[in-house]
């Protein structure tokens, strides 16, 4: 898997409807989707939600970049189900696992649709406009900015790991510590090192969310359309879930 292709948000969607939507509107939808996915207990409805957010990513022109990551979740989902089926065949366990992966898929897809279409600077402006404390704004915007750099780092470490260990799906299943030792720890070390550079870059550009211009991003017609669309969708899902229950 080419991890560079997993998180390439800033390469795919320089313009479009979703890019122009106020980041706060998108954030509201992402948080609502996350909460709703925990509330809904019907697998079909969760799958519908997953499809909606996948369609949103496709609309933003980023599906090619998001597909490997989303496919990875689906693959793990299917493999886990297959293992449980072989080991116990317990329908309750399989149902629980399916709900877990469906929710994870929704959160990932919603988060990716946000990351793929949001500039860090616009996020900072919109958060400032609702008087979110500067420290939180700074942390969130630098984190968003850092996602592509993290992807490049993860990809290089992954390649190096493959060269050293003949890494394959079966070797990870046999020795899961390879993933932790070989990917997670070096990634954390690199994250700590690079985060300094990103923060310095931000400061030396005069990028200070605590003192910058007040949020100039306003809610416009497209935000109302966007929020209305998702309100209808989410309300329908809640009603249908109630009907199912």
What residues make contact with other proteins under the rule CB under 8 A? 10-11, 14, 119-121, 141, 145, 148-149, 153, 156-157, 159-166, 178, 181-182, 185-186, 189-190, 193-194, 196-208, 211-213
Residues 47 and 32: their CA atoms lie apart, in Å, by: 16
Nearer Cβ to other proteins (193/220): 193
CA 142 to chain centre: 15
| Helices (H), ranges, 88-184 | 91-117, 120-129, 134-165, 169-174, 177-179
What are the tokens at 171?
């070797």
Nearest approach in angstroms of CB 11 to other proteins is 4
Nearer Cβ to other proteins (56/157): 157
Nearest approach in angstroms of CB 205 to other proteins is 5
Nearest approach in angstroms of CB 83 to other proteins is 25
The DSSP call for residue 62 is: -
Nearer Cβ to other proteins (95/210): 210
Nearer Cβ to other proteins (205/218): 205
Task: Name which of 35, 72, 79, 34 is nearest 53 in CA terms.
Answer: 34
Nearest approach in angstroms of CB 201 to other proteins is 4
Task: Name which of 110, 63, 60, 137 is nearest 234 in CA terms.
Answer: 110
């Amino acid at each position: 898997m080419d991890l560079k292709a997993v998180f390439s948000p800033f390469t795919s969607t320089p313009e479009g409807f979703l890019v122009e939507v106020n980041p706060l509107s998108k954030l509201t939808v992402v948080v609502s989707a996350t909460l709703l996915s925990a509330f809904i207990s019907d697998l079909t409805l969760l799958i519908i939600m997953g499809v909606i957010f996948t369609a949103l990513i496709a609309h933003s022109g980023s599906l090619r970049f998001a597909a490997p990551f989303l496919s990875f979740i689906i693959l793990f989902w299917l493999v886990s189900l297959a293992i449980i089926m072989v080991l116990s065949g317990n329908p309750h366990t399989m149902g629980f696992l399916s709900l877990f992966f469906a929710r994870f898929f929704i959160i990932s897809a919603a988060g990716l649709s946000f990351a793929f279409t949001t500039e860090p600077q616009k996020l900072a402006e919109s958060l400032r406009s609702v008087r979110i404390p500067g420290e939180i704004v700074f942390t969130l915007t630098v984190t968003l900015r850092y996602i592509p750099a993290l992807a490049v780092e993860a990809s290089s470490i992954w390649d190096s790991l493959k060269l050293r260990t003949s890494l394959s799906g079966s070797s990870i299943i046999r020795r899961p510590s390879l993933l932790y030792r070989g990917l997670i720890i070096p990634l954390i070390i690199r994250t700590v090192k690079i985060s300094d550079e990103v923060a310095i870059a931000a400061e030396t550009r005069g990028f200070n969310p605590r003192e910058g211009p007040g949020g100039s991003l306003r809610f416009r017609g497209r935000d109302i359309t966007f929020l209305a669309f998702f309100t209808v969708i989410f309300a329908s899902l809640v009603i249908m879930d109630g009907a199912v229950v």
